Structures are given as structure tokens and as C-alpha cells.
Structure 1
């Protein structure tokens, strides 16, 4: 990285005595020559501004010029005296007040020479930065180390973000929510973009869920080229990383996820579970029963550390990444916690929760096991033909009666049972008189040949009633 201090090694440039020592470590990314009284609209961060101070005429003229440099993030002002008296006190004082490093250029030193020397120094530094990054990548440095090296070369903080979204690695706290740059990147149709004060570039890879490189602040041409180089190295680092989690003990949860594009499900699930920072284990066996080829399955550790409201958080995360995928729907189901030895049952519960998610509307649906009644899980294990046969066996006379009389005794019985067999509550729900309710339940009981106040009979009838849902 080239800094103001680095350029002081060039012949002719020297810091003005008023410049604080700590300001000399600012990164320099390019040089800009100007004699405009207010160059703010043409500045980019990190520029060394070279000026002969031809714009200065009287005390007070320095304020708009230096203020523009400070606001634009200029690295320093290199100035040659406007006359034989050297740099005006007005310029010196204003630079000190705004914290802009001030360098002196001898009057006999051509600006063309200064520009050429600085450009060559920046080019040499850029080549060196690329070589150092390539060396770090070749040494298979961890992603965090690669970013730390890159931040030094770029002179600013940088992060790798997952489209889920999450911060995969970074050199400082991310100043915005990770979702913000991901959404803006998606809105820009996966092209480099500016978001929340960050420059965001894509990380090329074959993974379905994209990673992004975010760099703090607007970048110069040289910084952009180096950031693009870094994005490529991050993609290589991602391709090389092949985590192989160990089998889990203790309590676990099973998670099942489905996308319409079968090639995306595994990657989406892996990135989603990475947001929990809990250990995961990809189950090698297939749970009993059929499963769609697009389903991705995993076990997640749950030793009292499962995030509360995980399903809602997962919907939010998946809704952020969904515009970046080929899939138009993402569905997921998660089981209750069980001992690791009972993982097969957990997978079955997760898959049935996934099936329930498929019945609901929405581009992203996540269903926790708590949304499944026990009767639903029991019925889910029965084939469609078996459930239809049981429904006909228990409810046949009632179904036929409703069809012939155009009545609605089936619904009346279901509401009655869902109201815990309370005639008063059921009548209120159906908006009928309680005596009418009692008559209908009595008629239904006659047709079915069962006592609808008997608990066992209620269970049988209710299972038959819900076997289609």
C-alpha cells in the first residue's frame, strides 16, 4: 500500500512542519492536479491533490478548497507556493484545522515530474500488492488472513458476505446489516454496485448461493483492480474449502430444505445453517420412505443453543438470497430436538414439516415441527390409499348423507370435535342455536353408529376427518 509517508521518499516532496505525524499514514491511490477554487465534485477518496495555489488570492480562499479535500477523503495536499512567499498561512492553518496533510513542493520542481514519480510509485505498489496477495493465496492462507493482507494493500476494510446473508469473514465490524449490500447487489442484477457506503463485487464460484466481496468506501481505479483480483482469490479459497463435519452427539434437530432447482438445495441449506454458528452433520443415509430428489437434509447440534424464533429468522434470510437464485420457491421444515440416536425419526418429522410448507403460499416458507399436530404426523406415515379407505370406512354413511341431502354434517362434527366436544362453543363457531347443534350431532352419531361423546370414538372420527388435510 502506498501512503503519504511512502511518497516522502520521492525527491522534492517534504511534509510541512504543521502536518501531524499521524496523518502521514493515509493511503494514496492516485494523483490529481487542479487549480479549481472548489474541486469537490471531481475528487475521489485517497487522492494526492497537487496544486500551485493559483486559485488563492486572499485570506479565506483556502476554506472552500481545503474543506472540499477533507470531505472528499483526499490523502494530502501537495502545494507549491503561490508566490515567492511560499505557501500562505491561510492554507497552512486551514489544512491543520481540517486534518489534511500538507506537503511542500519546491518552486523549481515541475508538476509533470512530480506526477510521473507518483504514478510510477503507485504502479510499482499495485504490482507488489498483487504479488503479495497471490503469494498469500498460494500459501493457502485462511480467508481471514487473506482479507487482512488485502485490507493492508487496499488501505481500507473489506468483508466477504454470503447471500444468505451473513458475514463470512471481515477485517472490521460491518457498518451496515449484511442483508443491505446483498439486496442492493440483487437489485443491480448481480453486477458490481455501491451499497451503504460499500463497493460490492461478485465472487466467482460454482456455488448456488453467491459470495460477495464488500470494500469500505468508493474505490479508485487501482483499488478496484486490486479488489477484483481479491474477489477471484476469494473464489478460489471457497472452492478449496471442503468442510467435513464430524458426527454429532447429544441432542440434534433435523432440517429438510427443497428448491425447485435440485442443484441449489444443498448449497442453500449449508449456507443457511452456517448463520446459526452451530455444528452440522450431513446425514449420509436416506430416511425411510420416499423423498424428492431436490430435498437437502442435515442434522444440527441443539444442546440448548438453538436460536429462538429460528423459523422466522430463516424466512428472512432465505428471502434475501432468493432473488439471486434460479429457484422461485424455497421451502424448509425443521424437527423438534431429539437424541442423536433418534435422528431417523427427526428426519421424518422434518420432511413432513417440509411437506406442510409445500402446501402453503409464499416464495419462502419454513415450518417448524411445532406447527405439526401429532395426528398429522401419524397420518402422514399412511399411504394416500390407506387414508382414503379409513375415511370411507369411518365416515361413509355421513359422507353419503351429506351428498344426498346437501347438508353439512361432516363440517358440524369436525367443528364439534375441534371445540373439545363443547356444544356451546361449537354452536357459537357455526353461528347456530345450541339445540340445533345437539340435534345435528345426534343425527350424525346415528348415521355413524358411534357415541360422539366417547373419547375413543372421537379420536377415531377426528383422524378420519383430518385424513384429507
Structure 2
């Protein structure tokens, strides 16, 4: 530990005597670290001093008077105030050089300012105090360096264990005596040491801040105060892992007295090891991803036995019926985060979830209770379009995937969100066929009606739609619109002339209905 004022007072060879009682000083005044010891007899030595230093003086600045004149150049109160404002740790007064004993006015001024004052006997040279401080600082630096080397060696050995990442973080927590947590790239708490060592709401605030850093996608380090709403706030340090644009997670570390320069060097080495471990896991995940995709193709081809055997060895049994197929897609800069989230969900659900990549799609097989929750999570977390099939089985997987693809395409037309195939199928075949590629044709088909409505302020499109919804019945349409049946008949006749079609036949009505669905 760095030397303190109390450390100097406790050295018997220095024979220092404290003149300002400890109970009359501010709390912790004697425990303040001492950075150096400097001697000066200037009236204002502060330009040559730094905070944390001990000043040694023989009182030459007091002059020949027995007591200094108030307001004069040798004003003791002003002298002590200058030292206090400069952050001096303590003042040492050398006796029997220019004065016998320490002036009472100096003692009173130091007590008033809360500045520790000790007396240095004539037989203790100032150089002895300065040498003691220098030796203690050197011993502390050596001890901290030895601590850092020992900690780095222990952490390096921990990294060689089977679960090297967990062992490394556990060792760091032990060495710092602080909570250490790893937030993965999806923004979830992946592991922590000690378990449960950081309670709510501090944990939630740390995870929330880590998610913000991950969303920005840039390497960063941040200190936050967490948990202040229910008690004393805890200072936490957050550091991203991985390279900018491909962050692998965030390392969170609680406050610790060990986090000095040596402690930060140890943390830096852990960040490097953790980043390397996560990158290695990433490469392994990619290899496993290729295996998953191969097994998915086997399942779609109907070879359930082979896929079930391999998947059982790697991840556990495949999902059982009733299951749903989820189809989504993510941009290349977001696919890794999506896959990592799915890997975490596989570990949590063990056997009730399987996924792989098929062409540009990510295909997920989930048992019925989990499918809805997972689909909503993917859509919300990554702002993706997700299509969900009807309940199915592994034997019907190819059909279920096709249903999910249709749902995905419908959800993508809306930008993002979840589209269920059973919702689409309830709208009928025409609604299913009225896809994005039919809209241009539909708009051209309805253009004569929409242009006429726009120019004349009429409602031909709305009237025609209501008429088709009511099976071509003029009376029912008139009642729905609140107009006379002859008005409806007149409008439909005008629509026929504008469209150049006879709407009395089924095919013409069906084509017009499909056009109306496509433009909505």
C-alpha cells in the first residue's frame, strides 16, 4: 500500500509527534496517501507542490517575531489555508532550527483548517523523511507489480482450463475482490462471478447500459453509477469486447481498491483473453452453424433419422410435434448476433429448439409452447420480419417451411413483425396470391376508377368493393352504404364502363376482388 501520514507517524526511527489530535481532524485525513515529501521555507511554496505531498518546514517564513502579525506577510492562517487549498496531505514542522517548539498559532490554524500537523525533532533530518517516503513508494510499486504478475499468471493458467473463459473471469473476480459479469452480444447476462453478487436494480442498470453500448457497435469503455435508487450507488466499469462493428460482448467490473494502475493492467490482459476466447467461440459457432444447415437440409429432404442422430449427439433431441417452423432473415452485419441468441435459446430449451440456415433464410424449429414467444422476441430484438407456419411435424417439415416462407414474405411487406400462416390462409387464396409483385398490375387495373374518384370526388372504388363483399347484391350494398339501390346500380354501371369489363360474370368479379386486395 502507498504510504500515508499515519504510516510516517508509526515509524519509530523518525520520532514524529502529531500535534493535531486525530479526532479533531476530518475523517480519513491521516489515511490519505502520501505521494512525496518536500521541504520549503517559502511564505508561499504552493507553486512548487502537488496534492498529496507532505510539506516540511523550519518556520523561517515566520520571521524573527515571537508571534506573527495578523494580516502581515507571515500570517499563519493564510499560510495554512494556502496549503490546504493546494491539497497538501500534512505539514511537518522542524524544531530547534529557527524556533524552539512549534508555534501555538500554527497548531491552531492547522486544527481550524483540518490539516494534519506533526513535529519533527532536531535529530530527524528532513532528508530521512523524504527517503522513507521514497522507499515506501518504491516498495508499494514493487508489491503492486508483483501482485499484477502473480494475478496475470493465475489468470493465464485459468484460461487453459476446459471452460477457460469462465475460469478467467472467476479468477479476476477473486483477485480484485469485486463482482465481474459478462454480457453477451445479444445483451443478456452470460455469466457472473460471484453468482448473484450484484443484485437489482444495479444488475438491470448495468445490463441496460451494456445493451446501449452493443447497439452502438463501437469499441468503448464507460464508468457508471448503478443501484443508487435503493442505497449507496456502486461504481461499475464497462468495457466492450471485440472489434468495432463486430462486438462480442461487454465485460462489467465492480468497484475495487485493487483497480489502480497494476489492477487496470490485469483487467486489460483479461479483456484480451476474453476477446480471444469469444472469437474462438465465434469460429466454433460458425462450424456448428454449417453442421446445423446440413442437418436442416437433411430434414427438409425427409432424412429425419440421420439428422436426429447427429443433432442428438450435439445439442439434444429434435423438437417433437406439434412444432412450428419460423423463417426470418437478417443482414450480414446482424446475422452473428441472431445466431448467438438462437444458440443461447437452444441451450436453455435443450431439445425443444433447432435452427439452421437455408439459402438466405434462417429456419427455426420450435415446439408449440415456445414458438410464439421466440417469434416475438426475434421480431422485437432485431426488428426482423418473421413468418410462422401452422402446427406441423418433422415428416411434414418441407410443407411447414414453405408456409413459414409465405408468412415471412408477408411480414417483410410490412417492414418487420410476425406473420402467421394461419392468418394468411383464413383470408383465402386470392389474398394469398395478392403479393407485392401483383400490386403494380392491380394499381393499373383499378386506375380508371381511382382517377375518376380523384377528379370527381366520387366513391366508385369503395362502392365497388362493398358491392363485391355483398355478393353483387344491390339492396344489401345500398343498405351498407346508406344510399338508394339505384345509386349503387348506377355507380357499378359506371365502373363497368370505365374498366371496360362486364362485372356480371364470376371471373371478372374475382379478378377485380384480387386487385382490390393487392393494393391494400
The answer, yes or no, to whether TM exceeds 0.5 is yes
Of the three residues 333, 339, 355, the one matched with 1:282 is: 355
The change in CA–CA distance for 1:142 and 1:66 in structure 2 (over 3 A counts) is same
The change in CA–CA distance for 1:146 and 1:355 in structure 2 (over 3 A counts) is same
The alpha-carbon deviation at position 57 of structure 1 amounts to 2.9
The alpha-carbon deviation at position 152 of structure 1 amounts to 1.2
For the residues of structure 2 that align with 1:50 and 1:435, how far apart are their CA atoms? 104
What is the number of equivalent residue pairs in this alignment?
A: 360
For the residues of structure 2 that align with 1:440 and 1:466, how far apart are their CA atoms? 23
For the residues of structure 1 that align with 2:269 and 2:476, how far apart are their CA atoms? 69
What is the match of residue 5 of structure 1? Answer: none
The alpha-carbon deviation at position 123 of structure 1 amounts to 1.6
The change in CA–CA distance for 1:207 and 1:237 in structure 2 (over 3 A counts) is farther
- For structure 1, which segment, 417-426 or 174-183, has the greater mean C-alpha deviation from structure 2 after superposition? 417-426
What is the match of residue 425 of structure 2? Answer: 374
The change in CA–CA distance for 1:203 and 1:441 in structure 2 (over 3 A counts) is same
For the residues of structure 2 that align with 1:355 and 1:55, how far apart are their CA atoms? 83
The alpha-carbon deviation at position 149 of structure 1 amounts to 2.2
- Give deviations 1:103-128, integer Å, cap 9, x for gaps: xxxx9x94544443333232222112
What is the match of residue 182 of structure 1? Answer: 211
For the residues of structure 2 that align with 1:447 and 1:272, how far apart are their CA atoms? 56
For the residues of structure 1 that align with 2:214 and 2:156, how far apart are their CA atoms? 26
The change in CA–CA distance for 1:34 and 1:400 in structure 2 (over 3 A counts) is same
- Give deviations 1:356-405, integer Å, cap 9, x for gaps: 444346xxx3324279522679568759799579969xx96x76566568
Larger Rg: 2
1:410 match: secondary structure: helix
The alpha-carbon deviation at position 213 of structure 1 amounts to 1.3
For the residues of structure 2 that align with 1:449 and 1:461, how far apart are their CA atoms? 12
Contact 1:252 1:343 in 2 (8 A): no
- For structure 1, which segment, 174-183 or 273-282, has the greater mean C-alpha deviation from structure 2 after superposition? 273-282
1:210 and 2:261 are equivalent in the alignment = no
What is the match of residue 295 of structure 2? Answer: none
The change in CA–CA distance for 1:415 and 1:272 in structure 2 (over 3 A counts) is farther
1:333 and 2:393 are equivalent in the alignment = no
The change in CA–CA distance for 1:184 and 1:461 in structure 2 (over 3 A counts) is same
What is the match of residue 250 of structure 1? Answer: 321
Gap regions ≥5 residues in structure 1: 1-30, 36-48, 70-81, 83-106, 287-294, 319-329
1:201 and 2:242 are equivalent in the alignment = no
- For structure 1, which segment, 379-388 or 110-119, has the greater mean C-alpha deviation from structure 2 after superposition? 379-388
- Give deviations 1:211-250, integer Å, cap 9, x for gaps: 1111123743222222222222222222333354625443
Contact 2:219 2:242 in 1 (8 A): no
Where does 1:385-396 land on structure 2 (aligned, <5 Å)?
A: 387=438
Of the three residues 390, 399, 402, the one matched with 1:348 is: 402
Contact 2:179 2:254 in 1 (8 A): yes
For the residues of structure 2 that align with 1:378 and 1:149, how far apart are their CA atoms? 62
Contact 1:251 1:337 in 2 (8 A): no
The change in CA–CA distance for 1:220 and 1:255 in structure 2 (over 3 A counts) is farther
The alpha-carbon deviation at position 267 of structure 1 amounts to 1.0
The change in CA–CA distance for 1:208 and 1:309 in structure 2 (over 3 A counts) is same
Of the three residues 126, 138, 156, the one matched with 2:160 is: 138
The change in CA–CA distance for 1:346 and 1:131 in structure 2 (over 3 A counts) is farther
What is the match of residue 264 of structure 1? Answer: 333
For the residues of structure 1 that align with 2:365 and 2:263, how far apart are their CA atoms? 40
For the residues of structure 1 that align with 2:141 and 2:166, how far apart are their CA atoms? 31
Instruction: Give the TM-score normalised by structure 1.
Output: 0.59
User: If each structure's helix is expressed as a fraction of its own residues, which one has the higher value?
Assistant: 2
What is the match of residue 114 of structure 2? Answer: none
Gap regions ≥5 residues in structure 2: 11-17, 34-91, 93-128, 227-234, 293-310, 312-317
Of the three residues 448, 451, 454, the one matched with 2:503 is: 448
The alpha-carbon deviation at position 183 of structure 1 amounts to 0.8
The change in CA–CA distance for 1:447 and 1:353 in structure 2 (over 3 A counts) is same
The alpha-carbon deviation at position 336 of structure 1 amounts to 4.0
Contact 2:219 2:243 in 1 (8 A): no
For the residues of structure 2 that align with 1:51 and 1:188, how far apart are their CA atoms? 50
